[in-house]
Structure 1
Amino acid sequence: METKKVWFVTGASKGLGLTLVKELLANNYRVAATSRTQKSLIEAIGRNENFLPIEMDITSNNDVAKAIEATVSHFGQLDVVVNNAGYGQIGTLEELSDEEVKKNFDVNVFGSLNVIRNAAKHLRNQRFGHIFNIASIGGYLGNFPGFGIYCSTKFAVAGFTEALAEEMKPFGVHTTLVYPGYFRTDFLSKDSAQTPKNPIAAYTSARESEAAHLNQINGNQPNDPQKAAEVLIKITQEENPPVHLFLGKDAYDLVYSKIDLITKETEQWKSYTLFTAF
């Protein structure tokens, strides 16, 4: 009988992470899941012999190291890592404080790096495994007023994931950068998305975008997180999984809108681009 892979999923008490953990357990995978409190994981998922709920502060490298070691000690191995923990910070570049910006980077960027730093040695030594870094379509294009900082955190995730894919390839470890579009989770709920502490009324386009996301888009997202979870599991079964994975028709359409824009601007200003050569 096949021994099911061990998954390590961060940010698992709600949203896509919670849906993924439930789908994994339903398919008899072994899962270590983390959140800020163990209680929230048990309340959301329950108890299962294949489930290890771990309380973890993702911004603490020491905490993350202990969680990874607890997973390996409990299950005897580590096969798939999903860097899913993160939150949306709304606000223009001017109105967000240094503290608000750093907090978003601490969770969305440095938190994922903590997980990678501590998980990579296990995957590298066993010479197999898979790392999923969950970015956002906002990590591919950032032209959303009021979401510049959040998008910049996801652009950072995209950048280091592309490098990670090359670094881990010689060890037989796959790396996939996931760009989800809008999925019907609680990501945009008032308990999850953070708004600026000191908004500036003059930024009307940012306020309109904020209101649209919190009031119209929230609860009406076009994509199903259950299907996203199924896709991630299927990707681990592929012999040559992608480095870049866009999820959702909205994400698909936005990819080509940026490709078209970049192509147009590159050709429009080609003379200046080429002028700089010796």
Structure 2
Amino acid sequence: MKTKKVWFVTGASKGLGFTLVKKLLKEGFHVAATTRNADSLIKEIGDASELFLPLEVDLTDTSSVKASVEKSVAHFGRLDVIVNNAGYAQIGTLEELTDEEVKENFNVNVFGSLNVIRNVMPYLRNQKSGHIFNISSVGGLFGSFSGWGIYCSTKFAVAGFTEALAEEIKEFGVKATVVYPGYFRTDFLSKGSVRIPGQPVAEYTAARESENQHLNTINGNQANDPEKAAEVLIAVSREDNLPVHLLLGNDAYEILQNKIGILTRDAEQWKNYTLSTGL
């Protein structure tokens, strides 16, 4: 029987990451799971075992990430599938968010994933195989959400560097996929996973309406099932021809079509200006 793959999942104590880890273990995969507080993960799933390795990691600290990767390889002997899932939503308009709030969102959502990629790639490159899932968002496809500009920009960054990564690593037999989940019924919009601006500007009524809608209406009523998302990630990991882009949810598909329409209309409307710049 073929040995089950070894998965390395960040942000594993809640949301999609937690759901994925539970499903992977149920199916007999080996799982290294990172979180900021390993106690919560151990309480829910259990201590380290032949199949499971809980790791307390600060993803913004490259030495902490490096140590977690080394522990995972020492425990399981290899790594096969990496899921850069950790992240949080920072709500707030560009004017009202402080430099510190913006940098922290980028540190976790962008640089945390880059720290993981830098430290896992030597192993994947040497073994000539592996698959990296970088979890973006529908906010990485479409940024026209008032009060979500910084969060969306982090997710656009994830999409951009994954496209480049896929090209860079294919000569080693390693694949990369950027995942765009729509709204899934997890605790992503709960108080522990979303941050609001510390210095809100009252005049931004549209941003406050969007904030209230997400926290008080959308939260708990999302249309997509995280169990099914986990099943899709596992199923895709078994495919031979892996996608660079993977959308999850009817809403994600609709948002993509809307974005394509907007880009196409703008391109055609202003085509004369676009083509007027040649020498």
What TM-score comes out, normalization by structure 2 length? 0.99
Task: State how far apart, in whole Å, the 2-side matches of 1:224 and 1:45 are.
Answer: 21
SS at match of 2:103: helix
For 2:249, the aligned partner's letter is: G
1:35 maps to: 35
2:138 maps to: 137
For 1:151, the aligned partner's letter is: C
1:275 maps to: 276
Task: State how far apart, in whole Å, the 2-side matches of 1:43 and 1:275 are.
Answer: 63
Q: Show structure 2 runs of 5+ residues with no match.
A: none
SS at match of 2:246: strand
2:72 maps to: 71
Which string of whole-angstrom CA distances, capped at 9 and with x for unpartnered residues, describes residues 98-126 of structure 1?
A: 00000000000000000000001100110
Task: State how far apart, in whole Å, the 2-side matches of 1:44 and 1:97 are.
Answer: 35
SS at match of 2:192: coil
Task: State how far apart, in whole Å, the 2-side matches of 1:171 and 1:49 are.
Answer: 29
1:16 maps to: 16
Task: State how far apart, in whole Å, the 1-side matches of 2:172 and 2:57 are.
Answer: 28
User: How far apart are 1:49 and its partner, in Å?
Assistant: 3.1
Task: State how far apart, in whole Å, the 2-side matches of 1:43 and 1:245 are.
Answer: 32
Task: State how far apart, in whole Å, the 2-side matches of 1:162 and 1:137 are.
Answer: 16
Task: State how far apart, in whole Å, the 1-side matches of 2:184 and 2:271 are.
Answer: 38
Of 194-203 and 38-47, deviating more is 38-47
For 1:7, the aligned partner's letter is: W
Does residue 234 of the first structure (1) align with residue 235 of the second (2)? yes
1:44 maps to: 44
User: How far apart are 1:250 and its partner, in Å?
Assistant: 0.2
- Deviation beyond 2 Å, 4+ runs, structure 1: 46-49
1:4 maps to: 4
Which string of whole-angstrom CA distances, capped at 9 and with x for unpartnered residues, describes residues 171-227 of structure 1?
A: 000111000000000000012100000111100000000000000000000000000
Task: State how far apart, in whole Å, the 1-side matches of 2:52 and 2:171 are.
Answer: 31
- Percent of pairs with identical residues: 67
Task: State how far apart, in whole Å, the 2-side matches of 1:13 and 1:2 are.
Answer: 29
Give the alignment of 1:66-145 within 5 angstroms: 66-145=67-146
For 1:246, the aligned partner's letter is: L
Q: Show structure 1 runs of 5+ residues with no match.
A: none
Task: State how far apart, in whole Å, the 2-side matches of 1:131 and 1:19 are.
Answer: 18
SS at match of 1:16: helix
Task: State how far apart, in whole Å, the 2-side matches of 1:114 and 1:192 are.
Answer: 21
Task: State how far apart, in whole Å, the 2-side matches of 1:87 and 1:40 are.
Answer: 18
Does residue 261 of the first structure (1) align with residue 245 of the second (2)? no
1:197 maps to: 198
SS at match of 2:83: strand
User: How far apart are 1:2 and its partner, in Å?
Assistant: 1.9
Task: State how far apart, in whole Å, the 1-side matches of 2:223 and 2:45 are.
Answer: 25
User: How far apart are 1:38 and its partner, in Å?
Assistant: 1.2
SS at match of 1:245: strand
SS at match of 2:90: coil
Does residue 57 of the first structure (1) align with residue 58 of the second (2)? yes
User: How far apart are 1:86 and its partner, in Å?
Assistant: 0.3
Task: State how far apart, in whole Å, the 1-side matches of 2:191 and 2:82 are.
Answer: 28
SS at match of 2:170: helix
Q: What's the RMSD between the two structures over aligned residues?
A: 0.6
Task: State how far apart, in whole Å, the 2-side matches of 1:122 and 1:46 are.
Answer: 27
What TM-score comes out, normalization by structure 1 length? 0.99
1:180 maps to: 181
